[in-house]
Each structure stands twice: as C-alpha cells, then as structure tokens.
Amino acid sequence: MSAAPVLDDYAAIVGRERIEVLRRLASRLAGLRLVIVNSTRVGGGVAEILSRHVPLFTELGLTVRWEIVTGDAPYFAATKRIHNGLQGSPIDLTPAQREAYVETVRGNAERLQLGDADVVVIHDPQPAPLIEFAPKACPWIWRCHIDASRPFRPVWKLLRGWVRRYDASVFSLAAFTRALEHPQFLIPPSIDPLSDKNRALGADEVDRRLAALSVDRSKPLLVQVSRFDRFKNPVGLIRAFRRVRKHDACRLVLAGGGADDDPEGAEVLREVMEEAGGDPDIDVLSLAPDRHLDINALQRAAAIVVQNSTREGFGLTVTEAMWKAKPVVAGAAGGITLQVHDHRTGFLVHSEEGLAFRLRYLLNRRRLASTMGEEGRELVRYRFLLTRHVRDWLTLLLIVTGRTGSVENGVEK
C-alpha cells in the first residue's frame, strides 16, 4: 500500500475549504494531549476509525496517544456478554466474570498511566471502568458505539456506575442515548474514502480479486459484508435469498471476518455454513480483517448490498456500500436508519419477507438502483466521511476544554 493519506489528499473529495476549517479548529487545540483507549487495534469499525483519526489528529497538531486494554479470554468473554447485554440480550454475568472484567481493567489502569492527559476518550464498555482506577485530572469522554437503546437492565445498571462519572458521552444517534446527568453528544461515525476498503478500484482489479476469491459473477450479486454475528442475521438473509431466487437469478455472497474482541464469530460462522448447506449460489467468505481490498472489490461487484441487521451500532458497511454508489437494502436498525432512506438510497426492511421483496424490486429496476446508489454516495460525501468526523471531534474537544470563544461581527470578543 502507498503512504497513508494526509489531509490535503481529501481536498479533492470534500473541497479545499473543508480542510482549511479543520486546520482552523485545530489551531485552537495545538499541543493538546489526547489519550484514546479502546479494546483492539485490528478488526471491527472502531479500530478502523481510530487508525485513521490518530494520524490526522497528529497532523493537525494534537499530541495523541492511542492505547488498548489488554486482557485474557475470560475478560473478553465477559466483555462480549456485556456488549450483547447492552444490545438487549438477557445475559448472565457471573460474579467471577464481573471480577475478571473489573480486575483486568484495574490492571490496565496501572499499566496505562492516564494521568498525563488534557482529554481522555474511552471507547465502548471494555475499558469503561478505567475511570474508577485512573487519576482524573481532565475531561473524560465515554464514546459508546453500541445500540444501547434497549439494554438488558442489569448490564446497564452495572455500566452506568462508571459511565456517570464521565464528563460527557458520545453516541452515534439519539436513539442510543441513556438517562445520564452529563451532556450526551451525537457524532455519527464515518468511513475513510482513501482507505484500501473504500478507494477507487479499476474494473480489472475488481475482476481479478473476485476471481481469486472464486466468486462466480455470472448472475447479479447480492452482497452482505459483516462480522459473523447473530445481530447481523446472516442466516435470515440466506432464507430471504432463497425466496428471491425462486423469481430472479442471482447469487449471494456473505463476507466477513472476526475481530480480536469477538469470541462468538466462529460459532456463528458454523451456523451460517450449515444454513448455506453447500448451495452453489451462496459464497460464504471468512476473510482476515486486513483483506480490505477484497471487501472493496466485493462491494463494487455487488448489484445490491444488503445489511440484514436486527441491531446495529451504526453500520459502516452500509456507508461503505453507499460510497461505492450501491443501493442498500437493510434492516431498520440503529444507525442504518440515518443512512438508508426509503426510495432514496435504498430500502429499510423489517422481515425476511420484506427483505426478499425489496431485493426482487431492485433486481428488476436497474436504473432506479443506479439512481439510488448515486444519491447514497452524495449523502455519504456530505455526512459520513472521515473529514466530517474529525471536524466533529475537534468541535467536541473545543467544547469540553472551554476553547470555543465567542464572536461579534465576525471578530473574536
């Protein structure tokens, strides 16, 4: 891969002035020591976002330290349960698992030395208890990427004990927010248009990569890219696909990888393979998390991209598909509803039958599918690209550090 993109590289996509705005905002934060903590550097949307934010914040003059909490299998088993509980599953967290969770974070607090910062940002529940064990001498922000709109109450009660100590929290959309005393800011996530997963690919490269993956393109492809996770409902998608195929020739590709912090992936993959049952029109591709160019090629080769989620934090794979000008048919869950607008950028569905119906609808309306794809791309350009996301975070840092100032007649007072 070529050198990582710098800010100026984004001007061709979003316009020079937007890049200048980032520089002006960041000039008020020069030298700010920002510490970011999450649970993995590889795999999943959060790690992907942070891997792009950190170099850009650094280029903008902030002093950024990106740390991850480390833990053993019992810790990640506990955090996966907490994650599922936040998404509403009635999970059972034993006292031993709770202890594994808290004690692992306590150990991380000693290792990470978080006292030396101007702002600390903690992502998701895995490291959330750090605030109990680290010295707190600056604003702490909790960033929740999860659809916690209907959490399993005991899990939220446990987590709330730590979250309420933060100075602010950030959610992807209003539906995910909880009753908290501090301000809850809304910042949707984003994709990087210049990353390997999203940059332009030539038709030849798309062809070559699909051939290498042994994906037959003799029929239109329906593609779902996501971790093998029950909330993404891949098994339901296979059943819907079989309804579609009774009427329209097409093939289904389910592509995904695991994340370091997701121990359930292998189990769900087995369930998917079992449901697919060797069907020659279904490709189930378990890809390593760094196969970004293959994912890019699969999305570009799709006639329609599907995201059959029943719960979703935001659904960055939807954003990726829209950026590639693909119509999207997706479950009306979480952040997907911000992106998929019925009859504009795709369709929101609520059932297997609805999913099958809309897939058939679009397979038979290629021109409409193309128009929807183009509209989706423009929506992403305005709302869901990395540059907007960086701007929101700079804005938040200005707010929590009290550096917003005020203006009269265009001049700072």
Looking at residues 351 to 380 of the shown chain, list those that interact with other proteins (rule: CB under 8 A).
375, 378
Q: How far is the CB of 411 from other proteins (least distance, A)?
A: 6
Q: Which amino acid is at 88?
A: G
Residue that is written with structure tokens 């990353």 in the block: 195
Report the alpha-carbon distance of residue 280 to residue 274 in Å, rounded. 13
Which lies closer to other proteins via its Cβ, residue 15 or residue 161?
Answer: 15
What minimum distance in Å lies between the beta carbon of 150 and other proteins?
A: 11
User: Whose structure tokens read 């993995």?
Assistant: 40
How many chain residues bind other proteins (CB under 8 A)? 46
CA distance 346 to 341: 6
- Draw the binding track, 209-228, toward other proteins (x: CB under 8 A; -: no contact): --------------------
Give least dist CB 336 to other proteins, A: 9
Alpha helix ranges (H) inside 91-196: 95-112, 130-133, 153-163
Report the site for other proteins in 394-413 (rule: CB under 8 A). 395-396, 398-399, 404-407, 409-412
**What's the rounded Cα separation, in Å, for the pair 165 and 160?**
9
Q: Decide: is 171 part of the binding site for other proteins (CB under 8 A).
A: yes
Nearer Cβ to other proteins (22/301): 22
Which residues ranging from 317 to 356 are in contact with other proteins (CB under 8 A)?
Answer: 332-333, 337, 342, 344, 348, 350
Applying CB under 8 A, the span of 9-17, 122-130, 152-160, 221-229 interacting with other proteins comes to 9-17
Give the burial string for 57-88 (b: 16+ CB within 10 Å, else e). Answer: bebbebebbbbbbebeeebbbbbbbbbbbbbb
- Can you tell me which residue has the tokens 């060797």? 278
Q: How far is the CB of 185 from other proteins (least distance, A)?
A: 5
Among 4, 25, 204, 389, indicate the residue that binds other proteins (CB under 8 A). 25
Q: Is 153 in the site for other proteins (CB under 8 A)?
A: no
The interaxial angle of helices 234-245 and 352-363, nearest 10 deg, is 50
Q: Which of 12, 15, 212, 266 binds other proteins (CB under 8 A)?
A: 15
Token pair in block for residue 41: 């550097």
Q: Pairing between strand 407-408 and 33-38? A: unpaired
Determine the angle formed by the axes of helices 292-301 and 316-323, rounding to 10 degrees: 60
Residue 89 binds other proteins (CB under 8 A): no
Summarize as ranges the residues that interact with other proteins (CB under 8 A).
15-18, 21, 24-25, 28, 171, 173-175, 177-180, 183-187, 332-333, 337, 342, 344, 348, 350, 375, 378, 382-383, 391-392, 395-396, 398-399, 404-407, 409-412
